[in-house]
Amino acid sequence: MKKMDRKQLYIGLSLLVLAGITLILAILTEEQRSSYFAAWAGASLGHGIYRLWRYLRQNDDAMQEMAKQRHIDAVDERMVMLRQLSGFQTNTAMCLLLTGMMCVSSFLWMMEICEPYAKCIMIVSSMLIIAQMIMGKIAYAKNEARY
């Protein structure tokens, strides 16, 4: 994991300096302005301490382990997302194919030429189920390469 850059350290230190300056101004000024300076001091002080704490904590070994675990979890979430997307695309394509097959078979039934092709329609239906599994694998591979 990449260690936090020095920019965070400099921002934290500058916020602490700003908090000190505004706190001094809050003490030295009159009542109305002192409340504004005190608010600036509180906001800068809290945020500056938080930035410094994050910078110092980033170098811990425990933090490194947590970052590795977050990366592993993100990869797992990506795999789940890819499976869901490929399943959705496969089911949509199969719905369109089965709808087309129903239209063709109903047309053949209407023209009374379907009876000799009943076995062929069953074979085609079973091949579509196999095609659905193959298309799922292809869609997963395509989405894995794209994302």
Taking the C-alpha atoms of residue 87 and residue 80, their distance in angstroms, rounded to an integer, is: 11
SS3 47: helix
Tokens of 137: 């694998």
pTM: 0.39
For residue range 31-78, what is the model confidence (pLDDT) as tens digits? 777 777 778 788 888 878 888 887 777 666 667 787 788 888 888 888
Residue 101 CB contacts under 8 Å (≥ 6 apart), including other chains: 121, 124, 125, 128
For residue range 90-115, what is the model confidence (pLDDT) as tens digits? 778 877 787 777 777 777 777 777 66
For residue range 108-146, what is the model confidence (pLDDT) as tens digits? 777 777 666 766 776 777 777 778 778 878 887 887 787
Instruction: Spell out the domain ranges in the chain.
Output: 1-59, 80-147
| 2 pLDDT more than 60 | no
| Confidence label for 5 from pLDDT (cuts 50, 70 and 90) | low
